[in-house]
Amino acid sequence: MNYYSLNGKSPKVSFKDATIQGQAPDKGLYFPENIPSLQKDFIENIAAFSKEEIALSVISPYVGDTIPANELTRIVSETLSFDFPLVKINDDIYSLELFHGPTLAFKDVGARFMSRCMRYFTRNHDKEVTVLVATSGDTGGAVANGFYGVDGVNVVILYPSGKVSTVQELQLTTLGNNISAIEINGTFDDCQQLVKQAFTDEALNKKLFLTSANSINIARWLPQQFYYFFAYQQWPDKKNLPIISVPSGNFGNICAGLLAHHSGLPFEHFIAACNSNDIVPSYLENGSYQPKKAIATLSNAMDVGNPSNFVRILELFHKEFNSLKETLTSYSISDKETLDTIATVYANNNYLLDPHGAVGYLALKKYLEKHIGQKGIVLETAHPVKFYDVVEPVIHTTVPIPPAIQAILEKKKQRIRMDVNYADLKEHLLLPRK
């Protein structure tokens, strides 16, 4: 399997080279040359497979011969060393819980898979790798955990000041070692722009072995397909396919789901559930794609005003607007609606949603109200405890703290504060590491 740049001005590369580079030399995102078609027997008999067997069947065509089969099996097994349960909320809506990993967020899968691929690919390199990543919330903690202690890899995480939750900030600022965090006085889009500027700086890239761990990197993006297969495997009524509602910010997760759908995974329809950052809902309504400055919301991991991965979705649908609209619907949910949803679902169904899951739940509910008789799945992307300061005042009780979070609550944050200034970032990146 080779990968081409969506800007069309760079040569095709292997999975290995696309993973290491992160972004193509022409600044485009990499995209698979072919979309694998899954065997009908695999889909029909999916209940008979373990989650590791499913994941290997899905990811192997994308990896090709760049990683030996036994090594890829080990990587997948380590990546998926926790559960992905499908939990019934009510008669019409189920939750696929993606928060049972080490940092209690769906991004654990992509971060763990990528870190292990990167470790294998750079095992014989004599030059250290610098992983540069911007986060709007959960990416930072997942990447920090995934790469923590990996020899030969230094991680630099940029996050917007005051726009991530207390727990999210602790997860990405308390590890130390080969992980460093920079608190940017700006938005996630500012952080992402600084990262992109670093990748386009030829002089910097001659001095550093620089790569990305955002979902622009195929090794972070592609394994997110696994969730959708696990959801389908557990879905109780295969004759009535579910609607899939995905809390969407940078659109890597839902793009992975649509990719799985194109490979043959049967779902009825997809919903991109957005907060007040309504770029894609507006686009699907009027056909005009207009990036905006990100708005801070309670579902902060989705506070993205120019989602990078949407260009991949357009490529997947050959830029055919009507074809995309047949498969994808998008809603914008306000903070008030988010809080009301958390309170209502907890009171009526004894199920606690985090703010992102609440956005996904209400978007799905709105769709089902217009499509009577259908049912759906919301991807619950983070544990509610990560947003206890938002959730607890709504449900009027405390959220039990898992051991993984309890262990970091008393730790001291280690981060550098920085304005939106690329010269300052470049100077920091060129500092010698321990």
Q: How far is CA 377 from CA 80, 223, 372, in A?
A: 21, 19, 15
CA-wise closest residue to 29 among 47, 3, 61: 3
Tell me, what's the pLDDT at 143?
Answer: 85
pLDDT tens by residue, 314-357 = 999 999 999 999 999 999 999 999 999 999 999 999 999 999 99
Q: What is the mean pLDDT of residues 103-129?
A: 87
Q: Quick: pLDDT tens for 181-228.
A: 999 999 888 998 999 899 889 899 888 888 887 788 999 999 999 999
Is the pLDDT at 39 greater than 70? The verdict is: yes
Q: 53 pLDDT band (50/70/90 cuts)?
A: very high
Q: What's the pLDDT at 137?
A: 72
247 pLDDT band, cuts 50/70/90, is: very high
Cross-strand bridge partners of residue 32? 3
- pLDDT value at 42 more than 80: yes
Alpha helices in 304-421 (DSSP H): 310-316, 321-327, 335-349, 355-370, 388-395, 403-406
For residues 242 and 257, give the distance between their C-alpha atoms in angstroms, rounded to a whole number.
Answer: 13
Distance between CA atoms of residues 369 and 165, nearest Å: 32
Instruction: Tell me whether residue 172 is exposed, middle or buried, using C-beta atoms within 10 angstroms of its C-beta: 0 to 12, 13 to 18, 19 or more.
Output: buried
Q: Which pLDDT value is given to residue 434?
A: 56
- % of the chain residues with pLDDT over 70: 100
Q: How far apart are CA 220 and CA 332, in angstroms?
A: 26
What average pLDDT does the chain have?
A: 93
- For the residues 256-272, what does the mean pLDDT come to? 97
Whole-number pLDDT of residue 307? 93
Q: What is the pLDDT of residue 337?
A: 98
Q: DSSP character for 241?
A: P
Active site residue 40: no
In this structure, the number of other CB atoms found within 10 A of the CB of residue 392 comes to 14
* pLDDT value for 6: 97
Lowest mean pLDDT among 59-63, 166-170, 242-246, 425-429: 166-170
Active site residue: 12, 27, 40, 107, which one? 107
**Residue 355's pLDDT is what?**
97
Q: Could you tell me the fold of the domain covering 83-105+221-401?
A: Rossmann fold (3.40.50)
Q: Which residue has the higher pLDDT, 140 or 256?
A: 256
Judge contact between 110 and 116, C-beta under 8 A.
no
Asked if residue 156 lies in contact with residue 182, where contact means CB atoms within 8 angstroms, the answer is: yes
Alpha helices in 47-87 (DSSP H): 51-63, 69-79
| Residue 277: how many other CB atoms lie within 10 Å | 27
